[in-house]
Amino acid sequence: MDNIFNSTRFVNYLVKYTTENKRTLLINLALIIGLPIVLVTVLSYLIGKYDYDSTPGIDNMWVEEITMFSIIFVIWAATFGSRVFSSMSAKGNRIDTLTNPASYLEKFATYMLIYVVIFYIVYIGATFLADIMRVWIARMYAPKDAYIAPIPLEYVLTLGNVDNGYDRMGLGAWRNYLPGLLLVNSILNTQAFFTLGGIVWSKNAALKTFGCALALNFIMSMAWIWGMNIFIGSDHGIMPRFDFDISTQQFAWIFGSIGILTTILTYWLAYARFRESEIIDRW
């Protein structure tokens, strides 16, 4: 029954899980929605962004919001990724989770729905709500000639990189959306990695996974430098140089595809580890 999915059993387990963790989930919901609102409304007032002249048609807070929302997005993704298997952290909860009649696939689907799918929906909605609140409040104190407007969707999707010089990279008509795609790729990979860490370590999963991420980042950075020396060449001419007939568009698609495959593989490893939990817990 490990890989069997029954919709009725899934719904029952989903209701049971949300009911038992209602208080924690509501606190998390309040933080996801409230933090962006507080930060953008307070920050725009404290730093006096509207006291400075702005580019015609561009709100001075747009770039600040993009930076802030992106950083918070990554942090929340890592946090909720490490909480996907929070029901396995305490021994009593772990036994209750493992002995529940729902299959492992149904349990995993429940956790993914709450901590991944719903998290993305709520956070994205919270950022637009925060932006609307920022506009409404800013109009109360900003100078009358200040340009105050909700952030356009295109500005969000391009991370403010509309016509920012990506032409020189030859990325084509979609060049402005590359930064946003790379950010989404990073967020998906980050949450998947912290989800895997959450099932590998039952205690202090976020902290241990963060330490592991730093170590892997260092190793991959060294590997990247080494790879660039091999395939592009070094300034000293010590390493051989190989030229590949590959465009920037192809490289971007390859990079994105690798990121998606890595995310899927990481979640699969997390699920496989979760299925092994019963055997591990017996020992």
Q: Give the pTM.
A: 0.78
pLDDT for the residue 165: 45
Name residues of the chain where pLDDT drops below 70.
1-3, 48-49, 51-56, 89-96, 161-176, 217-218, 220-252, 278-283
Provide the Cα torsion 107, 112, 118, 123; round to 10°.
140
Beta-carbon contacts of residue 4 (< 8 Å; ≥ 6 apart): 103, 105
Q: Where are the domains of the chain?
A: 7-282
